[in-house]
Amino acid sequence: MRNMTKAKWLPAALGSVMVVATVGVALAQSSDDIKALLKELDAIKQTQAAIQKELGELKALVQARPAAAAPRPSAVGRMLNIAGAPVKGRADAPLTIVEFSDFQCPFCGRHFTQTMPQIVQEYIDTGKLKYVFRHFPLESIHPLAFKASEASECANEQDKFWPMHDRLFGNQALLASPQLPGHAAALGLNAAAFEQCLSSEKHAAKIRRDMAEGQGMGVTGTPAFLLGRTVPGSQSIKVEIYTAGAKAYVAFKQDFDRLLATTNQ
């Protein structure tokens, strides 16, 4: 009987041992998982701390940033004196456009080659518009532009501003000081007078006045255009439209036609 009882309980005992062993393995696995989870949580906390630190640094940078610059002055509605500036077109043309420009500026060159010929043909040659040139060499990025402006003014002394204007824009890769007398020679200028003028820097102050007046009207880059109706008997225009950048001809045409439509009303 005792042997039979032992035989009956032995499988049960073995089963209990297996259950305990299984539970032990399960607990061991759960312990490893918990450790892994705790490690992940610690990594998340470290990441959050790093993000908070970066956000704090960004906030400090924003708070330390200087106040926004004052908006540039608007040229629209203001008077602009054009006395002494080179002019293309009839003095009594109903509209006047003033270009602030830089002979080394590629966008100014694009305006000269792609847009200005149509403006000349449709509006300047027909007496509807006169075109005024003002200097605005961007010396920080166009180191040859200021001397090129001086060359155009030296050519102006010999009544060749516009031919020199066209030649300089047509040869923007040849604007170094030693190359400027060659442009003068190609235009048939008096070489000695041109070179003496250029070396004297006699027109530098005029160019800087153009630049200062442009800045005062809100010009920050080139080309920039100020368009208004011509005031009869005056050397000033009242600016009605300010345009920055090399626009397509159709955009200029819209502005011209809109102002011309109301000029005589």
Span of 53-57, 193-197, 208-212, 256-260 with lowest mean pLDDT? 53-57
Give this prediction's pTM: 0.72
- 223: preceding bond cis by omega (within 30 degrees): yes
- At 38 the pLDDT is 76
Bigger pLDDT: 156 vs 60: 156
In this prediction, residues 104-109 reach a mean pLDDT of 98
Reported as a single tens digit per residue, the pLDDT across 173-220 is 999 999 999 999 999 999 999 999 999 999 999 999 999 999 999 999
Task: Please give the CATH architecture assigned to the domain spanning 79-263.
Answer: 3-Layer(aba) Sandwich (3.40)
**Angle in degrees, CA 193, 87, 125, rounded to 5:** 120
Report residue 5's pLDDT band, with 50, 70 and 90 as the boundaries: very low
* Residue 195 φ/ψ, nearest 5 degrees: -65, -35
In this prediction, residues 220-248 reach a mean pLDDT of 92
Mean residue pLDDT of the chain comes to 84
Span of 13-17, 102-106, 152-156 with lowest mean pLDDT? 13-17
- How far is 61 from 89, CA to CA, in rounded Å? 54
The tokens describing 234, both together, are 């005056």
Q: How far is CA 96 from CA 36, 147, 225, in A?
A: 78, 27, 10
- How far is 236 from 231, CA to CA, in rounded Å? 7
Contact 86, 161 (CB under 8 A): yes
- At 9 the pLDDT is 40
Reported as a single tens digit per residue, the pLDDT across 132-180 is 999 999 999 999 999 999 999 999 999 999 999 999 999 999 999 999 9
Bigger pLDDT: 74 vs 159: 159
- At 59 the pLDDT is 59
In this prediction, residues 234-242 reach a mean pLDDT of 91
Span of 109-113, 201-205, 242-246 with lowest mean pLDDT? 242-246
Supply the DSSP string of 106-141, one letter for each residue. Answer: HHHHHIIIIIHHHHIIIIITTTSEEEEEEE---TTT
**Residue partners of 262: CB distance under 8 A and separation at least 6:** none
Supply the DSSP string of 14-46, one letter for each residue. Answer: HHHHHHHHHHHHHHHHHHHHHHHHHHHHHHHHH
